[in-house]
Chains A and B, each alone.
Chain A
Amino acid sequence: DARVTQTPRHKVTEMGQEVTMRCQPILGHNTVFWYRQTMMQGLELLAYFRNRAPLDDSGMPKDRFSAEMPDATLATLKIQPSEPRDSAVYFCASGLGPVPNTEAFFGQGTRLTVV
């Protein structure tokens, strides 16, 4: 049963600490997204990769956030330093090819709480 795997599922950290979230896309998928979900804003796009190259990271606060794909089986999202307003659920999604034309498969999310 192919699925997108995100770790950790939950993370509580103190303000100012570095947070790293990891995502294993479905094997063979070459499109990867990072989204952040809050009650107020809904799902917001943070970063978008195709074949490991970033296509769009305009929604990501560049001063503290960074997203990378070290290889085709791993995507990472880092926040340094973290702030309370970063508290949210972070989702990774993957797809085969240009996702608007096919479905995106979402992971279970990482619930981040910054205190």
Chain B
Amino acid sequence: SQKIEQNSEALNIQEGKTATLTCNYTNYSPAYLQWYRQDPGRGPVFLLLIRENEKEKRKERLKVTFDTTLKQSLFHITASQPADSATYLCALARGGNTPLVFGKGTRLSVIA
């Protein structure tokens, strides 16, 4: 069965460093991959979308890569700040009429 794994439940890093979060998938061929941020007690908020024919996307301090050979996406936050502390979710979909399937998320803590 299809499986989406995010590298760890929790990740602690020091302020100013680059945080790298991993999303691996098996038995799946997504055409779209999205990353969301979720704060406690709130709904997920969209951050970035990358398509299968794109290798990399950037938005301000955020960068996402999508390697369909390795079946992996990496999500980077450069110059991390305590305000970046949240749970980050990856979500995949096969095609235009298919729903987003989410990983369980990685809880990032940025320590000042």
Contact = CB atoms under 8 A, between A and B. Distances in A.
Interface of A: 4, 33, 35, 41-43, 45, 48, 50, 55-56, 91, 93, 98-109
Contact of B89 (A43, A56, A98, A108): A43
B96 A43 contact: no
B96 A106 contact: no
Nearest to A98: B96
A57 B97 CA distance: 13
A106 B99 contact: no
Interface string B31-47: 11010000001111110
Contacts of B105: 42
Contacts of A35: 102
A100 B43 contact: no
B99 A43 contact: no
A91 B43 contact: yes
Interface in B29-71: 31-32, 34, 41-46, 49, 51
A99 B104 contact: no
B32 A100 contact: yes
Nearest to A91: B43
B32 A42 contact: no
A55 B93 CA distance: 14
Interface of B: 31-32, 34, 41-46, 49, 51, 89, 93-105
A56 B43 contact: no
16 contacts: A42-B89, A42-B105, A43-B44, A43-B102, A56-B98, A56-B99, A91-B44, A93-B43, A99-B93, A100-B32, A103-B34, A105-B46, A106-B45, A108-B42, A108-B43, A109-B42
Given A93-B43, A100-B31, A103-B46, A33 B97 contact: no
A52 to B, nearest CB: 15
B43 A45 contact: no
B88 to A, nearest CB: 12
B103 A42 contact: yes
Contacts of A107: 43
